[in-house]
Amino acid sequence: MSQAINFQKSALETLRIEQQAIEVLATQIDGRFDRACEILLQCQGRVVVTGMGKSGHIGRKMAATFASTGTPSFFMHPGEAGHGDLGMLVRGDVLIAISNSGKSDEIMMLMPLIKHLQVPLITISRDEKGPMPQNADVALTLGQADEACPLGLAPTSSTTATLVLGDALAVALLEARGFTADDFARSHPAGALGKRLLLHVKHLMHTGAELPKVKPNTPMNKVLYEISDKRLGLTTVVDDNDTLLGIFTDGDLRRMIDQQQGFAVNLAVCEVMTKNPLTISAEARAVEALEKMHEKKINQFAVVDAANKVIGVISMHDLIEAGVN
C-alpha cells in the first residue's frame, strides 16, 4: 500500500526546484550565447538538432520551434544517424547536440564524421567537462542544479532548463531576423492560428453579382428586393461611380416600421439610409473585421478601396462560417 503523500506540496517543491534550475541557467548566459546566435544566423543550410533519450525529446521540440520562427531546422536521431541518417547532415548546416552529461556515446560516435563535414557544432550540457563540449565550436552550459526527481535520476530540472535555453535561442534569432506575425502565419496555415493570421477580408467578402447595391433614388420596394435577393441583410447605396453614399440594413427597415407604422413603397432610399457608414479595407485581417463588428455591435461591413468605392460586403456570418474567432 502506498504511503500517504501531500500531492500539492510535492508539486510546489518540483516547481521550486525547476525554477531554481532556470535561475542557475540565467547565470550561464554570456558571450558563448552570442557566439552561438551568430553561428546560427550565418547558417546557410539547416539547423540540425540531435540528442538521445529525454534530450532527444527536448531536441525535437527545439527544432520545431526553430522551424516555425524563421530558422529552418529538423531533428536527427543520433542512433539512426549511425545507421545512415547522418546523410541528412551536409556542409552548410549547423549541429546542436544535447546531452546533460556531455558524453553521449551515440553522439560521440558521430564526432569524426561531424568534423569531416566541417559542420559547426554547438553543444548543450550541464558543464564544459565532457568530451562533447570539449569538441564543440560553442559549448553552452546549463550550470549545476538539482533534479526535481527525489532520486536525482529522472531528467527533470535539466530538461526544463534545456527547453528554456532552446526557446531563448529561437527568440533571439527571431528578433535578429525581424521575424513578423505574417512570417509566422506562413508556417502555420492550418487551424485557428492560421485563420487568424492569414485570412483577410478580401478572401471572404462578397463581390460582383453577390454584392448588393442600389442608387440613392431607388424606391423602397426595389431596395427590399435587393436586400432579400442578395441575402446579406443590407444593401449599399452608391453613385454612378460606385462611391459609397450610405447603407440600408434590415435593422433600419424594422426601426423605420416601428417608428412610422409602415413606409411608402416609393420612398427613395437616400431619405432613410445611414450616411457615412463604418467601412473596412479588403486588406484588413478577417479577425480584425470580426473584432470591430463586436466592438461596434454591427453585423456587416461595406468594403471600400482608397477612393471610397464599394468593392465588397462582408458579414459576421461569413467570418464565423470561415472559422474566424
- For the chain, give the secondary structure using H, E and C: CCCCCCHHHHHHHHHHHHHHHHHHHHCCCCHHHHHHHHHHHCCCCCEEEEECCHHHHHHHHHHHHHHHCCCCEEECCHHHHCCCHHHHCCCCCEEEEECCCCCCHHHHCCHHHHHHHCCCEEEEECCCCCHHHHCCCEEEECCCCCCCCCCCCCCCHHHHHHHHHHHHHHHHHHHHHCCCHHHHHHCCCCHHHHHHHHCEHHHHCECHHHCCEECCCCEHHHHHHHHHHHCCCEEEEECCCCEEEEEEEHHHHHHHHHHHCCCCCCCEHHHCCEECCCEECCCCEHHHHHHHHHHHCCCEEEEECCCCEEEEEEEHHHHHHCCCC
Q: How do residues 218-235 score in pLDDT, each as one tens digit?
A: 999 999 999 999 999 999
Q: Report how far apart, in Å, the C-alpha atoms of 230 and of each of 56, 227, 247 are.
A: 57, 6, 14
Nearest CA-CA partner of 250 in 303, 191, 317, 197: 317
Q: How do residues 170-181 score in pLDDT, each as one tens digit?
A: 999 999 998 777
**Domains in the chain with CATH codes:** 7-179 (3.40.50.10490), 201-321 (3.10.580.10)
Least confident of 76-80, 83-87, 154-158: 83-87
As to burial, measured by CB atoms within 10 angstroms (0-12 exposed, 13-18 middle, 19+ buried), residue 85 is: middle
Query: Averaged over 121-147, what is the pLDDT?
Result: 95
Q: How do residues 59-84 score in pLDDT, each as one tens digit?
A: 999 999 999 888 999 999 998 888 87
Task: Give the span between the Cα atoms of 253 and 75, in whole angstroms.
Answer: 61
Q: What is the pLDDT of residue 68?
A: 87
- Residue bearing cell 435593422: 251
Least confident of 93-97, 139-143, 162-166, 260-264: 260-264
Least confident of 10-14, 53-57, 109-113, 192-196: 192-196
Higher pLDDT, 181 or 4: 4
Percent of the chain with pLDDT over 70: 94
Question: Does residue 232 contact residue 248 with C-beta atoms inside 8 Å?
Answer: no
Q: What is the pLDDT of residue 265?
A: 80
Percent of the chain with pLDDT over 90: 72
Q: Would you place residue 1 in the very low, low, confident or very high pLDDT band (cuts 50, 70, 90)?
A: very low
Query: Averaged over 262-290, what is the pLDDT?
Result: 90
Task: Give the span between the Cα atoms of 243 and 10, in whole angstroms.
Answer: 68
Q: Would you place residue 257 in the very low, low, confident or very high pLDDT band (cuts 50, 70, 90)?
A: confident
Q: How do residues 298-324 score in pLDDT, each as one tens digit?
A: 999 999 999 999 999 999 999 988 888
Q: What is the pLDDT of residue 256?
A: 82
